[in-house]
């Protein structure tokens, strides 16, 4: 019986991966807001039933996609220069996909992106369940700054090759993570 469970789990994993890759492929070509579930299914060579067995809608898939293809794990970096380089490289290697997610983002997409930034880039006690009102205000403020900086890069067609992250925006990431005790500033700022 455990072999059957393993086969079902592997099939499920393969289906989810195919749907994520299909979404990435479509995001290379068009804005997220214009992508339809049927297009995702066609790209993944899956039925709509298979899609809905794994995701509620395209927004649910986007949340999963962002989680699986995270730019960086802050805990892996010992200093801010390494973190800055990793974030910049991720942004510039994926600028077409990022552009197509951010441009013309509706409220639900903006909420997904903001929550992603709060949870993965500037987590402030959210994961431990100890966030207070101040933590919530600070993290949302920081997330907005990061989101609008990336939006500016997108709207200006990424005017630099791989520039240093704007020092003020980086200070937001650094400050929020120092507040949370997740990263040490071992270099100059």
More confident of the two residues 164 and 105: 105
pTM: 0.76
- Give the pLDDT confidence of 68-90 residue by residue, as tens digits: 876 666 667 666 667 677 777 78
**Which pair of tokens denotes residue 60?**
């649910």
Q: Indicate the class that CATH gives domain 2-57.
A: mainly alpha
Cβ-proximal residues to 25 (8 Å cutoff; 6+ apart), any chain: 43
Domain boundaries, the chain: 2-57, 70-179
Residue matched to tokens 């490289």: 89
- Give the pLDDT confidence of 83-124 residue by residue, as tens digits: 677 777 788 888 999 999 999 899 999 999 988 887 776 655
Q: H/E element holding 12?
A: helix 2-27
Is there a contact between 171 and 146 (Cβ–Cβ < 8 Å)?
Answer: no
Question: How far is the C-alpha of 180 from the C-alpha of 126, rounded, in Å?
Answer: 10
> What integer pLDDT is reported at residue 185 of this predicted model?
47
Q: Over 50: is that where the pLDDT of 149 sits?
A: yes
- Give the pLDDT confidence of 5-25 residue by residue, as tens digits: 556 688 899 999 999 999 999
Q: Is 69 helix (H, G, I), strand (E, B) or coil?
A: coil
Q: Give the model's confidence band at 30: pLDDT under 50 very low, under 70 low, under 90 confident, else very high.
A: very high
> Which of 81, 150, 86, 145 is closest to 118 using CA atoms?
145
- Give the pLDDT confidence of 46-67 residue by residue, as tens digits: 999 999 999 999 999 999 998 8
């Amino acid at each position: 019986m455990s072999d059957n469970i393993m086969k079902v789990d592997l099939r499920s994993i393969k289906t989810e991966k195919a749907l994520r890759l299909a979404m990435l492929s479509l995001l290379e070509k068009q804005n997220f807001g214009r992508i339809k579930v049927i297009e995702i299914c066609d790209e993944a060579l899956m039925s709509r039933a298979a899609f809905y067995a794994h995701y509620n809608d395209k927004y649910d898939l986007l949340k999963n996609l962002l989680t699986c293809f995270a730019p960086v794990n802050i805990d892996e970096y010992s200093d801010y220069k390494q973190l800055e380089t990793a974030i910049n490289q991720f942004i510039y290697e994926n600028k077409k996909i990022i552009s197509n997610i951010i441009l013309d983002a509706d409220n639900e997409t903006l909420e997904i992106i903001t929550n992603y930034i709060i949870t993965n880039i500037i987590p402030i006690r959210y994961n431990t369940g100890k966030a207070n009102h101040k933590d919530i205000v600070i993290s949302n403020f920081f997330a907005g700054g990061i989101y609008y900086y990336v939006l500016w890069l997108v709207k200006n067609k990424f005017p630099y090759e791989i520039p240093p992250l704007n020092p003020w925006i980086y200070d937001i990431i650094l400050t929020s993570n120092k507040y949370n005790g997740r990263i040490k500033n071992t270099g100059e700022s």
